[in-house]
Amino acid sequence: MSLPTNVTIDPDLLPTSLRLPPHLSAHKYFFVCTLTVAAWDTLVLTPRSWKLLKSEGWPVLKAIFFFLRFLMPAEFTIVGVAFFDSDWSRSACQGFFLFEPICTAVLLAACSVVHVIRIHGIYDKNRSVMYGMSALLALQVVVTGICCAFYRSVPLLEGQGCIAGPKHGWVGVYWASATLLYSASFALAVNRSAKSLSVKVLSPWKLMLRDGLNLYAAIWVVNMVNVLFWFIVKPNPDHDGQGDSIRTIVTSMTAVTTTTMSLRIILSVRGSLFYGGSFAGVWPSSTSTNTGSRGIASARVPPNAPSVLQITSNTHTAPTYTIDGIGQKTERGWDGTEAKNDILAIPENDHKPLDSPDDDAEFPKAPGLNGVKITVDREVDSRF
């Protein structure tokens, strides 16, 4: 028994939920990818989220981290239900379509606050950087808020879902305003990393991983691609641009990627999360002078800076030595697991006299020497 090979299906016989134009069909497939990324990221970051939750204090970055962790999956789960539920009526969509643009505007604003605080931190609390980034953030909030008023429900058939779309093409400035801030953030992060090469030379790969430049780059790329979709890609003329969702096809993935990368920027902060943390490639200058001392103090220094150890005695003239690579440790991140900066161990007085029993037992004093003065000088580039 042979089967017919020229069987065709009349599209009119299919339910409306399956009779999708090409752009809408691609939009639905792409949204499935978006939900997959959101679910996977939520799962992967759970261990570090728990560790961050147990850390002391509630700095702004920590509060924003958990705000984004819950808002992002909640928003796109709800949007996904409206997108794929064939029983979602057109009247229900008319009262719901503003949910996604408004929630996404809040999501992007929170992500942008992360960038403002972090860039301010890596530039050593520079006020000019803070004012500039804050101005871009204020512009973004105003523009996205205004643009939300110019969204509408895409006129699809009953059973094809509920999608928010723009009334006019210029509504794409909603995303252009956010992309402007992320472009500035990426440029400033790269500039800061490039300047640090004069202190410590690293390969481009190590520099990227140390300063998280791949995170800033990913955010910039996905937002720029989204802006290109808004202003370059044209809707299908058969729909007169009214029932075609091609302009918003990348928006959900852009919001999810921006959120997930911003969460990782928070997790990659060196030191405390307060005030945006510190820059991994900067070491403040330090000079320690101590007489008859014991104990350990720490100061951040570059590993390739020359060290000068000068020993002077009250009765003898001692030489000056140059020592490289003396006792270095590493600075931990907020979670105590990742090391980035180099730490120099420097003696610190613990208020014990030189002639204490412990000192005599462990370090017997040479006859005729009343005391030894040790000065450690570290030459550090302080141009930043």
- 184 and 215 housed in the same domain: yes
pTM recorded for the entire structure: 0.72
Looking at 221, 249, 276, the residue that finishes a domain is 276
Q: What is the pLDDT of residues 243-270, one digit of tens each?
A: 677 888 899 999 999 999 999 999 988 8
Please choose, from the candidates 44, 20, 16, the residue with its C-alpha nearest in 3D space to the C-alpha of residue 31.
20
The pLDDT of residue 22: 78
Please choose, from the candidates 189, 201, 191, 192, the residue with its C-alpha nearest in 3D space to the C-alpha of residue 303.
201
Does residue 100 sit within a domain? yes
Name every residue whose Cβ is closer than 8 Å to that of residue 71 and which is 6 or more positions away in sequence. 103, 106, 107, 110
Average pLDDT, the chain: 77
CA-based max dimension of the chain? 114
Q: What is the pLDDT of residues 97-143, one digit of tens each?
A: 999 999 999 999 999 999 999 999 999 889 999 999 999 999 999 99
- 269 and 291 housed in the same domain: no
Is 177:139 a contact under the CB 8 Å cutoff? yes
Mean pLDDT of 292-296: 37
Decide if pLDDT at 330 tops 70: no
Lateral strand order in the sheet of 297-300: 297-300, 339-346, 328-332
When pLDDT is cut at 50, 70 and 90, the band that residue 340 belongs to is: very low
Q: Who has greater pLDDT, 303 or 185? A: 185
The pLDDT of residue 259: 96
Q: What is the pLDDT of residues 47-103, one digit of tens each?
A: 999 999 998 889 999 999 999 999 999 999 999 998 888 888 888 888 899 999 999
- The values of phi and psi at residue 211, to 5°, are -105, 5
Q: Provide the β-strand partners of residue 107.
A: none
Cα 50 from chain centre? 18
Name every residue whose Cβ is closer than 8 Å to that of residue 5 and which is 6 or more positions away in sequence. none
The pLDDT of residue 345: 40
Is 123:115 a contact under the CB 8 Å cutoff? no
- 117 and 169 housed in the same domain: yes
Domain region containing 161: 15-276
- 291 and 272 housed in the same domain: no
